[in-house]
Structure 1
Amino acid sequence: MPIYKTIAHNSQTSVKIWKITESYEDLLKPLDLKPKNLTRVLGMKSELHQRGFLSIRHLLREFGYTDQDLFYDGNGKPHLKDGKHISITHSFTFSAVVVSEDFVGIDIEKQRDKIAVIAHKFVDYELDYLNKIAENYVNDLTKIWCVKESLYKMFATNGLSFKEHCLVIPFAKKEESTVAWIDYKDKKFRYNAQFLEFEGFTCAYTLPS
C-alpha cells in the first residue's frame, strides 16, 4: 500500500509510516538492493522480517533515497550519504523512517500485555507517576519504551541503559508529546518526544530540544 501516514514535524524533520500489506515478492520486485543487503534479506528465516526490511527501503524511496544511500556505523546506527540524520524502525505490520537535519530517533512497538512483565527492566523514575491499575497502563508503558528506544537509537552509545540513564517526564493520556532526558556520565541531555497511537501500535520519535 502507499504511505500510511506522513508527519511533517517541521521544515527540517519528516516522519513516514508504512503499513505492510504487500507480499514479500511484491516488495522485493521494484527495489535495487546492494548485493550485501540482497544476501541478507534472502537469508532471513522470517517472512515478516523480510517484509519489514524491504518496506524500509520503500520508505527510503519516498524520501528520494535508495538502498545505496544508506549505511551503518560500527554501533549499528544508520546514516545517509548526504549527511542528513535518519532513524528506522519496524514492528510486525508497520515500519517507519524519520529523516532530519538534526539528531533523531524513532521506534514503533505493538501494544502487548507482556510489556508489563518486563517493565522492571526499563522503568525506574517513571514508577512515580505510572498507575498499574489504570486501563491505559500497557499503553503508557509502551509509550515509555518507544521513547527510550528512540533515545537509545539516537544516542548510539555503548553502556547506555534504558532504566538507569533515560527518563521520560509525565504525560497525560491524550497528550502527544513530552520531555525526555538522558543522564549519562554526569552529563544531562534534554529531548522532545512525540508519540502517536494507531491500530494497536505506538510510535515515538525524539529530537534534541
Structure 2
Amino acid sequence: MGLVYLKEVNPHTRFAIWKIEETAEELLAKLQLNRSEKAFLERLNKGKRTLNWLGTRVLLRTMLDTPGYIDCPSDENGKPYLVNFPHKISLSHSFDYAACMLSTRYEVGIDMELVKPKIEVIASKFMKPEELAQLQPEHRYVEQLLTCWTAKEAVYKLQGKKGVSFKDNIYIEPFTYQEQGSSIVAHLQGPHQHAIYTVYYERFREFMLGYVMG
C-alpha cells in the first residue's frame, strides 16, 4: 500500500507511516544497498524482521525523496543516523507498519505499538508503582499504559544511549488520557543525561504512537 500517514510536526520535523504490503523482493527493488547492508539482510531470519527492516528504509527513501544512495548506519548504541543528509532520524515498526521521523534541527524519537491488553502483564516492569497509581483504571487503561510505554521508548531512542532503564530512569508525570491525542511530560534521569521532554501521543488505527523532539 505504501505511505498511509504523513504529519508535519513543525517546519523542521515530520514523521510518516508506511503499510508494508510488498514482498521483500518488491521492497528491495526500491532501495540501493551497500555490501554491509546486504550482508546484514542475509543474517536476518527471512520473514517479518526482513520486511520490517526493508519497510523502514523504503519509507526513509520516500521521505528524503532522493535518487541517490542513503547512508544510514547505526552507532555503537544501535541508534541509526544519516551520513550524507543533515537530518536526525528515528525509526520504528510494528507488525505490518513502519514509521520514520526526520528533523533538520532536533534529535527525535518515535515509537509505534499495537494496542493489545498484554501490556498490562508487563506494566510493573517499565512503570514505577507511583506512576501506575496515577493512571485511571476505569478509562482506557490499556491505552494509558501504551501511551507511557511509547513515550518512554521515544525518549530512550532520542537520547540514544544504552544503560537507561524505562522504569528507573524515565518518569511520566500525571496526565489525563485524551482519545484524540495530546502530550505528556517525561523526565529522563539517566546515567548520561538529565532532561525533561514533552512527548506527543496519538492513536493511529489500532496503534499507539509516541514521538518527541529535543
Structure 2 length-normalised TM: 0.89
Which residue pairs with 2:99 in the alignment? 96
* Cross-structure match for 1:178: 184
Report whether the alignment pairs 1:5 with 2:9. Answer: no
Identity %: 33
8 A Cα contact 1:148 1:166, kept in partner: yes
SS of structure 1 residue aligned to 2:175: coil
Q: Pick one of 133, 151, 155 that aligns with 1:151.
A: 155
Distance 1:142 1:67 in 2: 36
Q: For 2:46 and 2:208, locate their aligned partners in 1 and report how far apart those are by CA, in whole Å.
A: 22
Query: Aligned letter for 1:157?
Result: K
Please say if residues 34 and 68 of structure 1, whose CA atoms lie closer than 8 Å, have aligned partners that are also in contact.
no
Shift of 1:68: 3.4
Q: For 1:69, which of 68, 71, 89 is the aligned residue?
A: 71
Instruction: Report the Cα distance in structure 1 between the residues aligned to 2:116 and 2:46, rounded to whole angstroms.
Output: 20
Aligned residue for 1:162?
166
1:20-40 Cα shifts (integer Å, max 9, x gaps): 122222112221112222222
SS of 1:78 mapped into structure 2 = coil
Moved over 6 A (4+): none
Matches within 5 A, 1:103-118: 103-118=107-122
Indicate conservation of the 8 Å contact 1:3/1:17, yes or no.
Answer: yes
- Gapped regions of structure 2 (runs ≥ 5): none
Q: Quick one: structure 1 residues 89 and 67, their matched pair in 2 at CA, closer, same or farther if it must change by over 3 Å? A: farther
CA pair 158-61 structure 1, distance change in 2 beyond 3 A: closer
Greater CA drift, 189-198 or 168-177: 168-177
Query: What is the distance in 2 between the residues matched to 1:183 and 1:53?
Result: 31
Give the structure-1-normalised TM-score: 0.91
| In 1: Cα distance, 2:69 partner to 2:100 partner | 13
Mind listing any 5+ residue stretches in structure 1 that lack a counterpart? none
Deviation at 1:57, TM superposition (A): 1.1
* Counterpart Cα distance in 2 of 1:185 and 1:44: 32
Which of 187, 200, 209 is the equivalent residue of 1:194? 200
User: Displacement, 1:198?
Assistant: 2.1
Using the alignment, how far apart are the partners of 1:23 and 1:108 within structure 2? 22
Deviation of 1:46 after TM superposition, in Å, equals 4.1
Which stretch shifts more, 190-199 or 33-42?
33-42
| 1:57–1:67 CA contact under 8 A, matched in 2 | no
RMSD: 1.9
Length, aligned pairs only: 207
| Equivalent in the alignment of 1:50 | 50
Higher deviation after alignment, 178-187 or 101-110: 178-187
